[in-house]
Amino acid sequence: MVAAMTIEPEATPLAGSTARPRIVAVLACFNRRALTLACLEALEQSAARAGAELEAIVVDDASQDGTAEAVQARFPWVEVVAGSGALYWNRGMHKGFALAMRRQADHYLWLNDDTVLVPEALSALLSQWAALMREQGRQLILVGATADRESGTISYGGRVRDSRLRPFHYRLVWHAHEPVPCHVMEGNCVLIPREVAQRVGNLDPVYEHAMGDTDYALRARKAGFDLFVCGGVMGYCPRNTLQGTYADRRVPFRKRWHLVLSRKGLPIRSWMHFCRRHGGPLWPLHFAWPYTKLLMSGLRALLDFVPFEP
User: pLDDT tens-digit profile of 201-217?
Assistant: 999 999 999 999 999 99
**pLDDT tens digits, one per residue of 160-213:** 998 888 899 999 999 999 999 999 999 999 999 999 999 999 999 999 999 999
Every domain of the chain and the residues it spans: 5-236, 253-304
Task: For residue 281, count other CB atoms closer than 10 A to its CB.
Answer: 6
Considering only CA atoms, which of 262, 233, 269, 104 is closest in space to residue 157? 233
Give the pLDDT of residue 14.
43
Give the pLDDT of residue 19.
82
280: left (phi over 0), alpha (psi -120 to 50) or beta: left
Give the pLDDT of residue 10.
42
**pLDDT tens digits, one per residue of 124-146:** 999 999 999 999 999 999 999 99
Q: Which residue has the higher pLDDT, 309 or 293?
A: 293
Rounded Cα distance between 284 and 245, Å, is 24
Give the pLDDT of residue 6.
39
Rounded Cα distance between 83 and 104, Å, is 23
How many helices and strands in the chain, by DSSP H and E? Answer: 9, 16
| Helix locations, 154-242, DSSP H | 194-200, 212-222
Give the pLDDT of residue 310.
41
Rounded Cα distance between 209 and 223, Å, is 24
* pLDDT of 156 strictly over 90: yes
Helices 283-304/253-260 angle, 10° precision? 160
Rounded Cα distance between 29 and 98, Å, is 16
* pLDDT of 101 strictly over 80: yes
Residue 305 is given by DSSP the state: T
Considering only CA atoms, which of 111, 116, 144 is closest in space to residue 29? 111
Rounded Cα distance between 300 and 232, Å, is 43
**pLDDT tens digits, one per residue of 58-69:** 999 999 999 999
Give the pLDDT of residue 121.
98
DSSP run (H or E) holding 298? helix 283-304
Give the pLDDT of residue 95.
98
| Helix locations, 64-106, DSSP H | 67-74, 88-100
Class of domain 5-236: alpha beta
Question: Dmax of the chain from CA atoms?
Answer: 83
**pLDDT tens digits, one per residue of 219-263:** 999 999 999 999 999 999 999 999 999 999 999 999 999 999 999
